[in-house]
Structure 1
Amino acid sequence: MVGFGAIAPILVLYLEQLHFSARKIGLFLSLTLLGDVVVSLCVAWTADRLGRRRMLAVGSAAMAGSGLAFAVSRNYAALLVAATLGVISPSGNEVGPFNALETAMLGQLAPAQDQVFILMYYQLLGFVGLALGSVGSGFLVAHLQAHSSVGTAYRTVFAFYASVGFIKTLMSACLTDVTELEKQDQGARHADERRPLLPTTPTIRPSRSSPHIDILVSPSSRPSKSPPRIRLGLVIALFGIDAFASSLTPASYVALFLQRIYGASIETITTVLAGAALSAVVFSLGTGALVKRIGLVPAMVTTHIPAQLITCGLAFAPTLPAAISLYIARTSLSSMDASIRGTLLSAMVPPESRTRLLGVVDVTRTLVATPGPFVTGRLVDLRALEWSFPISGGIKFLCDIALLLGLRGAKLEF
């Protein structure tokens, strides 16, 4: 996340500095997401067979390779190939195979009733890394600009990103066997290969010592009779649409928005992104307690809906301080659902299918998000970049309402 945080504020600014058109930049970011779909699907579908550690190392090596390409090349086609086949994040969020693999590993190592808290701390550390990367990027660019060109400063950040990928490759190779899928006897393994990915009955059952967490908590609610696979399909579809909305306003375009509309400097932009990430850390600390108190889906919706209203209002902020305040508030609230989402999905399938399901979810989200940057690029062409925020917030608001209604009365036990 340090690497992703470092390049997110400068990616679009660097492509503009190379004199690529807004349409080319939007297409570039969309094709980057499309390449991520292919990489994520291949890795997620083969990771349990070929080894989670090995595939994590492969993804990290791809991250290092793409960073190196951006550090040495200025050619549009070469950069597009590196971004499509490698790992580049326009949003600052984790892309590639990392999220699915790491969530599956943590889900296996942690007891079911503790997964919300484990994934909460996982997200928390990610936000800290994002903030450190963003601040470091701004400091590095500001320092190098005084002694060299802006382009050289940006390319130095990408060289740093490549070094992060290399270090992550070495660390992935040092993981132990406990991160791999637990070995089963031969008969059970063959039976699992024939088991459908989406179960027809709940797969996590209560123990005498573990509490249950309702998806929707209501004294009179009863478990729904609709098949879990229908609910799971609904959740995946809504998460995909939500991802499209998010792709309209990635951190790279937020940086461009702050620079073009309010004249913010790169130091201000990276400080804002870092501040938003650190604020998200503070808010994430309350995620586990909120879930225990009101349930999974209510916790997601009650934080998301205010965040989307703030997102809509961001386009109409009269001054830079107002825009910064709204952006930090929006990021803090919307980030609280990340660990909840992973817990909800992990609890819907058996452990041996978890990596594949999380990979499919990541692929679905990324695939649906692919047109988003291109749409925003067209808005930039039309001098209407600020309208990407109301469009994004409106779509996310509708997704939250649909999720709340679609999972009404459902119950999930740990």
Structure 2
Amino acid sequence: MSRDGKLLIAVRGLRTFSHSAVTVLVAIYLDLMGFSLVEVGVFLTLGATGAAVAALLSGIWGDKLGRRKMLAILAIFMGFTGAALATTTNFSILTVAAFFGGFSSTSGAADGMGPLEQSILPTTVPEIRRTEVFAIYGVVGTAAVAFGSLAAGAPTIIQGVIGLDQVRATRLVFASYAAMSVVVAILYLLLSSAVEAPRGVRASTWGNPFKLPSRKRIFTLSGLFAVDSFGTGLIPHSLVAYYFFTRFALQPEQLGLLFFASSILTAFSMWVAVRLAKVIGLVNTMVFTHIPASVLVMAVPLVPAAWMAVALWLFKSFFSQMDVPTSQSYTMAVVRPDERTAMASARMVSRSAGTAAGPTVSTVLWSSGSATVPFIIGGTMKITYDLALWLLFKRVKPPEEMSGQRI
């Protein structure tokens, strides 16, 4: 792996770490500030909508403006959400900051930086190591989610050490998130010119996606990812944390431990996914590991005891992200190299757009009487995605599978 690949993965870890701590805390914090559950959903929806817009812009302008510059700009915008949460309780300002900051409510979230990172990664290793590098990218991100989740317990430590109350201690975490965005922007600028798109691609950009040779494949996959992400958006980590907080009275430090453990399981599972893909193929790995996770999600609100719900969530965590490195590798393999930024951007836009609608729908359903409904609908949507993906793409093989060479 080249120096750029190592730096890119390290930066991914830093920004995911800081984002994950905020993800666990934000819904609980907004509740403490007196906002309604529906208002929390609106905040999360606007943040995910901003992430979708950022992903779209990175696909349209990223290669033309320069990938390093675009990444740095998006990183600075990322800090807007943290700065607003740390300094104001004005709901209008918070929602505007969530939008422009592209704040997604899922740890390790989809954002505008993802498409550019994913289009760069395959160029940092030989083609034979493509799936492996995406697994490393995923594992580092998931490990960062784990330790970021632990950092959600920082307000409790700050209260004991400095003597701040819970609100001010939580705001200090949000301020740290804003500061980290500046560090991330600087690190992106340290990438070499080798990460930029070829000169011909920069000149043409992919401005009209309807003219791309692989447009049918790109838009079909993107539509399926939107269905899956809508299911995810109904039960994002922020609202799952809120569910455990209100249903079983788990405190932020306990929730941090829960998401830490689940992320460690997820990181381990990504290595398993790479090896499984060598045996049964990328599409089969994506589908047949994802369905059990969705069934387990649907069972979480049906159990009466906290330990049962925690056990189901942890078990689900082992399976739920095994499709991430495999789907990233697959989508980069089934389009031409000069279409990779377009594919990664379309994938991220569809995921962010699908996720954006979920929190508001979920909180409205939740407020209407039952926290169970979002889990059931979310799991059902995700299983629908799995079955459709398998039926439509089981015969669309990446090059190494057509040649009999697994990577």
TM-score, scaled to structure 1:
0.88
Q: 1:242 aligns with which of 214, 224, 228?
A: 228
Match of 2:357 in 1: 371
Aligned pair 1:61/2:80, yes or no? no
Alignment map for 1:294-313 (pairs within 5 Å): 294-313=280-299
Match of 1:385 in 2: 371
Letter of the aligned partner of 1:282 in structure 2?
A: F
Match of 1:129 in 2: 144
Aligned pair 1:337/2:352, yes or no? no
8 A contact 2:79–2:182 mirrored in 1: yes
8 A contact 2:298–2:379 mirrored in 1: yes
Alignment map for 1:12-411 (pairs within 5 Å): 12-138=27-153, 140-146=154-160, 147-184=163-200, 198-199=212-213, 229-411=215-397
Q: Whole-Å Cα distance in 1 between the matches of residues 78 and 206 of structure 2?
A: 32
The runs of 5 or more residues in structure 1 that have no matched partner are 201-228
Paired positions, count: 383
Show CA shifts across 1:166-200 (max 9, x none).
110110111111111133599xx669989965425
Q: Whole-Å Cα distance in 2 between the matches of residues 32 and 192 of structure 1?
A: 26
Fraction of identical pairs, as percent: 27
Q: Whole-Å Cα distance in 2 between the matches of residues 322 and 177 of structure 1?
A: 51
Show CA shifts across 1:59-82 (max 9, x none).
111112321121111111111111
Q: Whole-Å Cα distance in 2 between the matches of residues 243 and 391 of structure 1?
A: 12
- Pairwise CA distance, 1:111: 2.4
Q: Whole-Å Cα distance in 2 between the matches of residues 386 and 184 of structure 1?
A: 51
User: More helix per residue: 1 or 2?
Assistant: 2
- Pairwise CA distance, 1:236: 1.6
User: Could you say what secondary structure the match of 2:175 adopts?
Assistant: helix
Q: Whole-Å Cα distance in 1 between the matches of residues 211 and 335 of structure 2?
A: 7
Show CA shifts across 1:362-395 (max 9, x none).
1122123222100111123124123211111111
Q: 2:23 aligns with which of 8, 17, 42?
A: 8
User: Could you say what secondary structure the match of 1:268 adopts?
Assistant: helix
User: Could you say what secondary structure the match of 1:89 adopts?
Assistant: coil
- Pairwise CA distance, 1:284: 0.9
Q: Whole-Å Cα distance in 2 between the matches of residues 76 and 145 of structure 1?
A: 26
Q: Whole-Å Cα distance in 1 between the matches of residues 18 and 165 of structure 2?
A: 22
User: Could you say what secondary structure the match of 1:95 adopts?
Assistant: coil
8 A contact 1:232–1:348 mirrored in 2: no
8 A contact 2:49–2:102 mirrored in 1: no
Letter of the aligned partner of 1:161 in structure 2?
A: Y
Letter of the aligned partner of 1:109 in structure 2?
A: T
User: Could you say what secondary structure the match of 2:374 adopts?
Assistant: helix
Q: Whole-Å Cα distance in 1 between the matches of residues 292 and 219 of structure 2?
A: 26
Letter of the aligned partner of 2:103 in structure 1?
A: I
The runs of 5 or more residues in structure 2 that have no matched partner are 1-15, 401-407
8 A contact 1:257–1:386 mirrored in 2: no
Letter of the aligned partner of 1:157 in structure 2?
A: V
Letter of the aligned partner of 1:154 in structure 2?
A: T
Q: Whole-Å Cα distance in 2 between the matches of residues 231 and 87 of structure 1?
A: 27
Show CA shifts across 1:110-168 (max 9, x none).
22221110000000000111111111221x11123342222112111101111211110
Q: CA RMSD in A?
A: 2.0
8 A contact 2:233–2:354 mirrored in 1: no
- Pairwise CA distance, 1:108: 2.0
Match of 1:204 in 2: none
Q: Whole-Å Cα distance in 1 between the matches of residues 207 and 225 of structure 2?
A: 26
8 A contact 1:310–1:326 mirrored in 2: yes
Show CA shifts across 1:25-78 (max 9, x none).
111211111122222211221111111010110011111232112111111111
Q: Whole-Å Cα distance in 2 between the matches of residues 88 and 77 of structure 1?
A: 15
Q: Whole-Å Cα distance in 2 between the matches of residues 286 and 270 of structure 1?
A: 25
Q: Whole-Å Cα distance in 2 between the matches of residues 190 and 123 of structure 1?
A: 31
